Amino acid sequence: MSYNLLNGKKGIIFGALDSKSIAWKIAEKAHDEGAVFTLSNTPVALRFGEIQLLSEKCNAEVIPADATNVSDLEKVFTRTMELFGGKIDFVLHSIGMSMNVRKGRDYDDLDYDFFLKTIDVSALSFHKMLQVARKLDAINDWGSVLALSYIAAQRTLVGYNDMADAKALLESIARSFGYIYGRDKHIRINTISQSPTRTTAGSAIKGMDGLVDFTDRMSPLGNATAEECADFSIVLFSDLSRKVTMQNIYHDGGFSSMAMSLRAMTQYNKSLDEQS
């Protein structure tokens, strides 16, 4: 089903890896809703991912880029504008990676080169994207930029490690640049704080299964899926959300506003019963 919410809109989607990726679902949905866009990911990700399938499905050119590399980003924006004959309307940032997580380094035993890499890939890349767009004047007035975040930016989860700090920084960059870009060009910048999602990247988080079960039972509507996240992302790209900016919006079935649900408490209490 399509509402044509993005008819005539042009954009760039960073971070689609495979069909489990939230960015992948957003691309499919944006296509359904009438948008045209390019896709970008790192050369390595493009090699291992299945992005060619998505490219064909959405009729979207793939532009390889290391999102921490300013000149790569310039190419993505320049090539996209060239393709579409002018400025674009939306950008999605769905990028995150922590070598500390991958290598199993505990948070009190971080490697600082890894830490800076986490920051650069997962947060600073968003600033670079925005600064490149701003300098190239690549985004139309009233355009929309979106990044995907997680509640770890506000509340600590065991195992999420330095990605929590990167998400806090990412959300701060959304606010800081949201002020500048809003004031100068009426461009809005927001983040969506999404339920834990079983993407290929998400699976790297230790203890994901128990956590997903817990958050599902805590959330009155259950965990939000990648498809549902795509639905809401489309809204934020559409003209219906033009005055929402510098916000982090929880798309999480209500988890963020819960301290204890009946379902989670009942399940938890089973563990206590077993002890007695």
CA torsion, ordered 211, 212, 216, 219, to nearest 10 deg: 60
Q: Please select the residue that binds a copy of itself; options are 162, 197, 201, 237, rule is CB under 8 A.
A: 162
Nearer to a copy of itself, 25 or 46 (CB): 25
Q: Which residues contact 11 (CB under 8 A, 6 or more apart)?
A: 30, 35, 36, 37, 38, 88, 89, 90, 91, 92, 237
Q: Please select the residue that binds a copy of itself; options are 71, 82, 104, 271, rule is CB under 8 A.
A: 271
Stretch that binds a copy of itself, among 42-50, 71-79, 96-104, 259-267 (CB under 8 A): 259-267
Q: Please select the residue that binds a copy of itself; options are 47, 52, 203, 213, rule is CB under 8 A.
A: 213
Q: Which of residues 5-44 bind a copy of itself (CB under 8 A)?
A: 5
Distance of CA 255 to the CA centre of its chain: 18
Nearer to a copy of itself, 57 or 135 (CB): 135
Q: Is 140 in the site for a copy of itself (CB under 8 A)?
A: no
Of 227, 206, 221, 208, give the one whose Cα is nearest residue 257. Answer: 221
Specify the DSSP element, H or E, that contains 11.
Answer: strand 10-14
Q: Is 203 in the site for a copy of itself (CB under 8 A)?
A: no
CB 12 within 8 A of CB 92: yes
Q: Is 242 in the site for a copy of itself (CB under 8 A)?
A: yes
Of 72, 91, 71, give the one whose Cα is nearest residue 138. Answer: 91
Gap between the Cα atoms of 228 and 26, Å rounded: 9
Size of the site for a copy of itself (CB under 8 A): 101
Q: Please select the residue that binds a copy of itself; options are 180, 200, 204, 216, rule is CB under 8 A.
A: 180
Q: Please select the residue that binds a copy of itself; options are 31, 35, 92, 171, rule is CB under 8 A.
A: 171
- From the CB of 250, what's the least distance to a copy of itself, in Å? 6
- From the CB of 181, what's the least distance to a copy of itself, in Å? 7
Nearer to a copy of itself, 44 or 262 (CB): 262
Q: Which of residues 55-114 bind a copy of itself (CB under 8 A)?
A: 70, 106-110, 112
CB 236 within 8 A of CB 8: no
CB 66 within 8 A of CB 267: no
Q: Which of residues 182-201 bind a copy of itself (CB under 8 A)?
A: 182-184, 186, 188, 195
Gap between the Cα atoms of 123 and 106, Å rounded: 20
Stretch that binds a copy of itself, among 51-59, 73-81, 89-97, 180-188 (CB under 8 A): 180-188
Gap between the Cα atoms of 254 and 143, Å rounded: 28
Q: Please select the residue that binds a copy of itself; options are 78, 140, 172, 200, rule is CB under 8 A.
A: 172
Distance of CA 87 to the CA centre of its chain: 22
- From the CB of 92, what's the least distance to a copy of itself, in Å? 16
| Cα angle: 163, vertex 146, 235; to 5 degrees | 130
Q: Is 241 in the site for a copy of itself (CB under 8 A)?
A: yes
Q: Is 155 in the site for a copy of itself (CB under 8 A)?
A: yes
